[in-house]
Every structure is written in C-alpha cells, then in structure tokens.
Amino acid sequence: MQSSELSVQGQNLQTLYNLYVNKRLAVNRRYQRKLVWSVEEKVKLIDSVIDELPIPLILLAQRKRGGVETYEIIDGLQRLDAFFSFMENKFSYNGKYFDLDTIGDTKARLDASEITQGEDKLSRSESLAIANYQIPVSIYRDASASSIDEVFRRINSGGRRLSLQEIRQAGVLGSLADVVRRSSASIRGDGTFSESVILNAMDKLSISRRGLDYGLSLEDMFWVRHDIVAQEDIRSSGDEEMVLDLVLDAVIRPWPTSGWQNRDVAYGIQRRIRTASPEDVNAAIDKVGVEELHQRILSVVGLINDVMSGHGSLGRHMVKLETYEKGTQRQFQAVFAALYSLTFEDGMVPKSHDAVRTVLDDFWGRKGLSIPTGGSSWGREKKKSLYPSVKKNLKKAFYKPDLQRAATQLNSRMYVESLLQGPVTEEPLIELKQGFCVLSSPPVEDAELFEQIMQTAVGMANQGKSAEGLILIGIADKPSAANRIEQIFNVKPLAIHSHLAVGTLEQINHLGYDIDSWWRRWQEKIQTSKLSKEFANSLAHTFRPVYYDELLLWEMKPKSVGKPITYDGRFFVRIGSSTREMTADDFLSHMTLHFS
C-alpha cells in the first residue's frame, strides 16, 4: 500500500455531518457490519467528546457514486452513526438533547420538519462545542479494493471483537462469500441490490436495540420467529453461519461435515482436516450460478415461511420441546437440505402448504429420525444416513409436475423484497417499470419501452468496469399507475416496501402472448438489437420471469463488459436515476474517469 494513497486531516463533526446530510458517506456492505452499538455505547462516545477526550480516527475511501464524489467508510461506522444520531436528537445525553438551531444543517432539517427537537436542550455553547469537535480522519484516495479489504481485516473498532463468521466474511471476494452474504441479508430483511449503501439508510437495514428506533426487529426475523437461531446469535452473525452450512449442503456431495474447521477451510483458512477446498466449493457454486443459488435458497426459506404462515413457529411445530434457547439449527438444516433436493434436484413441488405442514408436525419425534446435539462437528457419516430418511418422509407432501411450469412459477417474494430494500429511487443502477403497455383505453403495447430499456441498460453498463444494474418490470412508478392498472386489468397491487407490484401477466395476455412466447420474443429483440453482440448476448441471458406471489415480474441485469459501449452509435450514461445521452467529447471524459 503506497503512502501517496493516504492523507490524514482533522475534520469537525459539523463538516462530517454536512457530508452525511448530502448523502456522500457510504457503507460497503461487502465487508461492513450492521449498526450494533447500544444507546449506552453511544452515550459513552458523546461523553468522551464533552470531556474533550481523544477519539480513534475515522478511515474513509474516496469513491465515485452516480457521478458524485463520496466517501466509503472503512472504519468508524458505529462512531459516525452515534455522532449523527445524537445531533439529530435520536437519543439524549444525561437527559438533554443537541440544540438543532446550533448549526445550519440541523436547523434546515428542523425547519423542514425532517427532524424534531427534544424538549430539554443542551446550551448553545455546549452544542457548538460538540459540533466543532475535531476528529482525525484518514482518507484513502484511489485505493484498490484489495488494499481496503486488507485494512478492514486488521481493524477491530470500538473494542468489539468480530465473531468467527464475521472474520471469515470480512472483505472476502468469491462465490461462497457472495451467496452467503446476499442470502443472509435477504432472509434477515436487510438485503439490498447494491453493495454500496448511503449511511443515511443504514438505520433501516440494522437490528433494533433497546432505546433505538431501527428498522429491523429481531423478534420478526425468520430465524427467531421460527425458533431456529437464538436472538443473541443473530447479533454475532450466527444466522450467516447457518446460511453457510445450508449453502455447503446444497452444492457439495457427499454432504460435508458441519463444523467450525470445515467452515474455515471453505473460506481459505488453513486447518488440518480433509474437507472441500475453497476451489471445490466455489466451483460447485459457480456450476449452479451465484444468482441462481441465491434465489434457490430464498425460495426454500420462503416456502417454509408460507407453509407455517398463521400456524406459529416451525421449530415448535417439528420439535415438541418446551425451551428453544439454543434454537433448532440442525433440525432446520436437515429439513432444508431435503426440501432443496426435492425441489431443485428432483424437480418436485408441494402438493399444498397443508400437506408439507402435516408431514412436519412432530417431525423429529418420528422413529429413526434423531439429530446429534451439542456444539461439536456434525459429521458427514451422520448426514449420509440421516438426510435420505428426512427426504423420504418429506417426499410424501410433494409431486412431480410439468418441469417447465415448476421452474417458471417459483415464488421469489423474499428475493424481490431484498432487491427493493433501501434507497432504490436514488440508485443509478436500478430502474423500475410498471409494465409493457401504455395505460390507454384500450391499453396498447408501449412502442418506446424497448428502446428506453436498451438505453438504460447501456447507461448502467457504462457506470464502470464492475458495474451491474437491475431493471425490474412490473413495479408501478407511482400510485396513480397502480390504480389505473387495477381498473384496467383487475390486478390488486401488492406493497413492497415503498413500491407497488402490479405484475405483467395480464398485460402480455392482452397483447396476445403467454409467458414463454413473450420471453422468447424479448430475448430475440435484445439479441438482434443495435447493441454490440457481446453485450446483447449477456443482457438477453439475464432477462427472465420472476414471481412475486401471484404477480409476474421480469428482471434484467445489465453488466459491464469491462469497456464502454454504445447503443446505435450513441453514448448513454446514468446520472442519478435518469438515463442521459452524452456527446462524444463528454463521453470520452466519462470513459477516462470510469474505465481508466
């Protein structure tokens, strides 16, 4: 790491808060943890500021986000959140709140009713002293991803030690880390399409704590609701360790031992055991595909969620015990492996949710079905004898339908919800479309839509060498469009966070197509369009149907080919959430900035 990459300077909280307000502080979720500090920890930090004690430095990496210079937080996420949440009156210090009239940014937000002043205020001079408090800030300019990863690995901020799974995941690249990270976040409810999220959105994506109004409640999470993973284990990424075991069971044959040493080896940490190597694991995942495996995992979890909807905890349903402090992780793991195999290896589907739930009732009280207990490794030989028996019992609730229909109608509710979590409307790499029709009377095919989507896809791919975007069709851009679709096609919109899913099946049926013919039509249009052959083939491959309950959506994921591309000889880029055409000179400057 070259010294020229690093600059160190003192910045006061007022300056840092201005970056925050203008959404120029970002969190890379590939290696950063959630917000985990309690109110007590945050108050201690404010106490240090008031007593003028030194604070550990903040580490930032300079980045470009949507054409705007931003700063990615390498270390200091918890501290910055504590400072800014105090300055926004989300908690008090000794019963007193920061005076929002002290600095321009908090006063402007107060006047706009974006934040509210607490009743008992600190004095203006005390508040100003806090706002002017100097913090050492180190900024990496033009730092490589590998150097940032290495720095993060060496940091243990705030005296809070990382768990084994957090250490495994921290800054790691590769298919295993990718699918574990993404699937875990989606199941918890804090999944996002983009790895980079503005700090302002992190409270919506973090676990609530006593006295803090965060977005995610532990009690509402899949793992806790179903007595699978204990609450305290979620905080230390025990749910990600659970997902890691599910991933390994899904792709490795024979089923591997589940134990901490085997998990370490899968991530490339040397241990004196014989187990699947990182190369073997990543190759097995790549054979399925990271995106495909991610969606498969979510679909099985979603199926279990649907099966138990309105019928209580899965853990209590399949294990008739009085206490669940340790959860039912191994029981769930075995059931998951069987459901995964029935669905994706045998091509079967449930006869009904009731049928699956009936089979799962007191499942682990059946003769011949027992799970090893304790914290030791769960050996492959035990799995070899147990998993087929679990599958045989669950198979009673499944049948084999038409294979194509089964693949097409897989419910991807949890997957779609994870895509639309976070500040989607401000994301340059996400575009939502209501459907394929102009909502006239009668509705007709939108003749301009294909061209618009191709230009958007090119603009997304031109964001940089590693850019990957998402175009999702079947999501209304405003309530009036959703109401109009309900009037015309009798489709009841479904709320997904702040968006409305309206589906597209009725529209394509109205135009005289079924799912398969529409799918082929658009893939052919993409492949024969005015795109380069390389990009067209890549884009066409990503266009596919996705179900959100009974609503048919379509997704497309434009991905950079490592160099700038054009559409019909024209230059397109994404500026904020809009697609813009550029002149040749402007595009050359953009290309130099993002592809050099």
Write out pLDDT tens, residues 462-476: 988 888 999 999 999
Q: What integer pLDDT is reported at residue 79 of this predicted model?
A: 94
| 103-116 per-position pLDDT tens digit | 999 999 999 999 99
76's tokens: 């200091």
Mean model confidence pLDDT for the chain: 88
Measure the CA–CA gap between 420 and 335, rounded to whole angstroms. Answer: 29
Least confident stretch, 96-110, 204-218, 443-457: 204-218
Domain boundaries, the chain: 3-161, 218-408, 428-595
Flag whether pLDDT at 3 surpasses 90: no
Is 0.85 surpassed by the pTM of this model?
no
Helices 77-87 and 13-21 pack at an angle, to 10 degrees, of 90
pLDDT interval class at 146 (50, 70, 90): low
**DSSP symbol at 378:** B
Q: What integer pLDDT is reported at residue 406 of this predicted model?
A: 43
Least confident stretch, 26-35, 496-505, 512-521: 26-35
Continuous H helices in 274-433: 278-288, 290-308, 314-318, 329-340, 353-360, 380-394, 403-408, 413-419
Flag whether pLDDT at 151 surpasses 80: no
Closest CA to 485 of 440, 526, 449: 440
Q: What integer pLDDT is reported at residue 407 of this predicted model?
A: 42
Q: What integer pLDDT is reported at residue 197 of this predicted model?
A: 85
397's tokens: 């609730």
Q: Are 501 and 553 in contact (CB under 8 A)?
A: yes
Contacts of 455 (CB under 8 A, 6+ apart): 567, 570, 572, 579, 581
Work out the number of other CB atoms within 10 angstroms of the CB of residue 91.
19
Q: What integer pLDDT is reported at residue 112 of this predicted model?
A: 95
Mean pLDDT, rounded, for 38-44:
92
| 220-248 per-position pLDDT tens digit | 899 999 999 988 888 888 999 999 999 99
Q: What integer pLDDT is reported at residue 397 of this predicted model?
A: 97
Closest CA to 263 of 250, 251, 247: 247
Single-letter residue type at 345: E
Closest CA to 347 of 314, 395, 380, 379: 395
Mean pLDDT, rounded, for 138-157:
67
Q: Decide which of 3.30.950, 1.10.3470, 1.10.10, 3.40.50 is the CATH code for 428-595.
A: 3.30.950
Flag whether pLDDT at 325 surpasses 70: no
Closest CA to 422 of 186, 210, 85: 186
Highest mean pLDDT among 47-56, 138-147, 445-454, 464-473: 445-454
Least confident stretch, 159-163, 243-247, 528-532, 588-592: 159-163
